[in-house]
Amino acid sequence: MGADSGFDMVPRLSQGNQDRREWERFLEGVKQYYADDEQVEVGPRVIQFKAGEWPSLPMEGHKFLRFSSKITGATAAKTGVENYIREVQELAKAVFGGRIRPWNELFDVWGFYRWDFVHATMKLHNLVGTPLESPAVWLVLPSRKDIATPEPIPLTSVNNQGNTDLYEVMAIPGRGKGLVAKVDIPKGTQIICEKPLFTLRSSAPPSMHHLVAEKLKLLPNDKQREFLSLHNNFPGQYAFAGIMRTNALPCGPGSSVGGIYSTICLINHSCIPNAHNNWNEEAQHETIHATRNILAGEEILISYANEPSQARQRKLRESFGFQCSCELCSQPLQAIQASDKRRADIEQLDETIGNPVAMMSSPQKSLAACHDLIHVLDQEYGGTVIALLARLYYDAFQICVAHGDQARASVFAERSYMSRVECEGEDSPVTQKVKGLMRDPTKHPSFSAYSTRWRSTRTARPRNVDANSFDKWLWKLSG
């Protein structure tokens, strides 16, 4: 026996282009890192680490669930397997971020997937097996990151084109250009839908500079000028890379591919935004939706950062080159401190909700945390962070569905769906996915995965009751 350590990929990669390219990029990094290491062998099917229990990485990412080995015992110590685990984990994190779930039995942190599931997957794909024993059986936990909220990232100034019925590009004192509403824009309105000038995977500045130059050559002169007039927070030798870093919006949550837009890149930041940006993977375009009613004359603003004030201001300064003085940041110190407390609470609650062990053993507490989070979000943002609400309702959906509760799961999916429509539009693939789950929660892979203690049919929701009673039922509130 001995203690295992490693990391899991959660959720596992798809066979889609983006996941495939990221996996290839990761493997490239691994190969380069270990180019001179004889214990690491690149074969046709896997990269094999001849240390500990010989952990391996398949050439195709969708076949990958886990990289691990026993890290105690003479063999482990002699072959230095613990270093491989740590280094490969860091390389993976650099590409896949939060999708990499480290675990270590020495510290009572357990893997995400059951061992028998990992073994069956390796067998299915005919991967070189490591002599893994099959210890405890863990449940396959559903991933709350199934549907992640896009992380807002942004930029600054250029020329405008496209549909200007709703907004115009104007000079904004102290902030270059910005978009200002020409008419009253109701909440949920799609303000902009724009194809990128080009998209590019992020890379080191010298190579990025070169790649951008190649992309620019393919653009007409006016588009080249638009790109070159964008703000650059990283001036110097690799100017094109600097503009890209300052302005590119990720094509999807956590994506390392960024898109550059003539108009959307002009939208400024507010810590209390009134609009939301979203990448539609299917249509390959970026949309901007109003997340509250915006009055004619108001600037359209999205959020580049959600952290408490100190971390937020640092990020805005370092990545985008400005000190924020939005309606929140210009408040007296006391109000900013109250906001910081709420933002810390939001992070804390988010963590509680995302804890799969709690979701399994005390789902009522996880659900209560969702309920609390709604109130904190409302206090902090006044209901304008619809994308966060959409994710929160989806979390509540997952808690209920994992315990067999179709009635509540369906209501939460419906609320998540409504929020997605408002901030991403009906045609967003994520919106459509949630819509399908609203109609049939049993289609979710973790349906009844934890227990059936909350078992109910989809239509078992209370009828003809007031909103208050309905909410009490929905959130399982007593009293």
Q: Which residues contact Zn ion (rule: CB under 5 A)?
A: 271, 324, 326, 328-329
Token look-up 């049939």 returns 440
- The nearest distance, CB 324 to Zn ion, in angstroms, is 3
- The nearest distance, CB 452 to Zn ion, in angstroms, is 46
- The nearest distance, CB 313 to Zn ion, in angstroms, is 8
Residue placing its CB nearer to Zn ion in the complex, 241 or 305: 305
- The nearest distance, CB 263 to Zn ion, in angstroms, is 22
* Positions of E strands within 22-117: 40-42, 46-49, 56-58, 66-70, 100-104
- The nearest distance, CB 326 to Zn ion, in angstroms, is 3
Contact between 73 and 2 (Cβ < 8 Å): yes
Residue placing its CB nearer to Zn ion in the complex, 88 or 301: 301
Nearest to 100 by CA among 115, 114, 85: 85
**In terms of residues, how long is the chain?**
479
Residue placing its CB nearer to Zn ion in the complex, 200 or 271: 271
Contact between 323 and 316 (Cβ < 8 Å): yes
Other beta carbons within 10 angstroms of residue 472's beta carbon come to 15
Instruction: Give φ, ψ of 289 to 5 degrees.
Output: -120, 145
Residue placing its CB nearer to Zn ion in the complex, 211 or 328: 328
- The nearest distance, CB 298 to Zn ion, in angstroms, is 16
- The nearest distance, CB 272 to Zn ion, in angstroms, is 7
- The nearest distance, CB 309 to Zn ion, in angstroms, is 8
The SS3 of residue 73 is coil
Cα(86)–Cα(106) distance, integer angstroms: 14
Residue placing its CB nearer to Zn ion in the complex, 344 or 460: 344
Contact between 194 and 162 (Cβ < 8 Å): yes
Residue placing its CB nearer to Zn ion in the complex, 232 or 306: 306
Residue placing its CB nearer to Zn ion in the complex, 94 or 335: 335
Q: What is the 3-state secondary structure (H, E, C) of 281-336?
A: CCCCEEEEEECCCECCCCECEECCCCCCHHHHHHHHHHHHCCCCCCCCCCCCHHHH
- The nearest distance, CB 304 to Zn ion, in angstroms, is 10
Residue placing its CB nearer to Zn ion in the complex, 113 or 304: 304
Residue placing its CB nearer to Zn ion in the complex, 324 or 396: 324
Q: Is 208 exposed, middle or buried (0-12, 13-18, 19+ CB in 10 A)?
A: buried
DSSP for 145-188, please give it: GGSPPPPP---------S--SSEEEEE-TTSSEEEEESS-B-TT
